[in-house]
Amino acid sequence: MAQKKKKWVAFRTNTTVPAEVIGKTSNEKMQAGQPVLLPETYADHVIHEGFAVACDAPKKAEVADKVVEPQITPPAQEEPSGQTTTPGTDAADKEPTAALDLAPPAASAT
């Protein structure tokens, strides 16, 4: 079976592409401005309707740079006092600060 022709497009806004179009089991959310390879007929349709613009394929270095490692946030720890803290905070952050006195000084009667 011959492969279908495909085109690179970049959507103007965040867009959901139907699963049937891209041959997957669920719809895919595409980010605005990111190159996406789509079947030529669907690509022509979204370009004609103004949802996307034709673009060049991303360079391999750009694709490698865009891989994002997941950030793992350590769980909150409970202190002996029963308060919950997040690692990286210190006790000074927990102390209430004194209210600033922004009232003008009272006139002296001398």
Structure confidence by residue, pLDDT tens digits, 4-44: 799 999 999 999 999 999 889 999 999 999 999 999 999 99
Q: Is residue 110 part of a domain?
A: no
Count up the domains in the chain and report the number.
Answer: 1
Q: Is residue 39 part of a domain?
A: yes
Q: Is residue 18 part of a domain?
A: yes
pLDDT for residue 70: 47
Domain containing 39 equals 6-63
Q: In the predicted model, is pLDDT for residue 85 greater than 50?
A: yes
| pLDDT, tens only, 36-60 | 999 999 999 999 999 999 999 888 7
Instruction: Tokens 């991303």: give the residue.
Output: 58
Q: Is residue 80 part of a domain?
A: no
| Across 64-83, average pLDDT | 55
Q: Is residue 36 part of a domain?
A: yes
Q: Which residue has the higher pLDDT, 46 or 98?
A: 46
